Copies of this chain bind each other. A is one copy, B any other.
Amino acid sequence: MKSETLERLRRVSTATLCTALFKRGLRHQFIQDVRPLAAGRPNMVGPAFTLRYIPAREDLNPISVFQDRAHPQRVAIEQCPPGAVLVIDSRKDARAASAGGILVSRLMMRGAAGIVTDGGLRDSPDIAQLPFPAYHQRPSAPTNLTLHQAIDIDVPIGCGDAPVFPGDIVVGDGEGVVVIPAHLADEVAAEATEMTVFEDFVTQRVMEGRSIVGLYPPTDPATLDDFAAWRQAQGR
């Protein structure tokens, strides 16, 4: 991956990235029905490190399992590489938590880039206060042992109906989270950056009163001239 790719992804939206992926035939990369715990934050960007849950069998999930230092949930927290996003397959089930405030704090301290679950997080008001991106479906106070058994670390998973492979580049903004296949990250980041410049131009023109006809998309050739001039003036 190019060195500038992560930085570029910090400056584009998940909406723009979804369009770049759509152009490549990928329609299911947006993680459905998850949202940030806190609004107005910078983008979350990093490679996916995954954790897979299955439904909890009661005899295997007493509170004492956390005594085991090899418990996959705890191991995942301690192994998630700095800069990575921990993505959890909670089978879209938010009736019990995927993780809580202490583990998320530890993940932050270890330098991870963020956490995403298609289930729920507990201690969510506390997590929302952390300077750390976290996305879930809805708050959920019950311990994960109630319904989720951590079973696998860093395998391909589904999260919110999106396929997530370890190493895919995960980007989150105020809207949600998108998963970019690793081999596409460079080109998608570059294309989305260009799209963003153009969309910023379009937005400015629209706010000045221009119609979208011929402007978006730029089917009127004059639009491209106008854009070229605007871009030069902006130094972008």
Contact = CB atoms under 8 A, between A and B. Distances in A.
Interface in A51-75: 54-60, 63, 66-67, 69, 74
Nearest to A64: B217
Interface stretch (A1-9, A13-21, A221-229): A13-21
A207 interface: yes
B219 A69 contact: yes
A106 B173 contact: no
A11 B159 CA distance: 34
A32 B138 CA distance: 10
Interface size class of A (residues with CB under 8 A): 35 or more
A235 interface: no
A181 B19 CA distance: 25
A213 B143 contact: no
Contacts of A91: 91, 158, 161
A57 B181 contact: yes
Number of copies: 6
B63 A173 contact: no
Contact of A109 (B24, B57, B125, B206): B206
Contacts of A77: 212
A97 B212 CA distance: 18
A230 interface: no
A42 interface: no
A124 interface: yes
Given A56-B28, A59-B25, A143-B19, A152 B155 contact: yes
Contacts of A26: 57-59
Give the 4 A-B CB pairs with smallest separation, nearest first: A125-B174, A15-B122, A14-B141, A139-B175
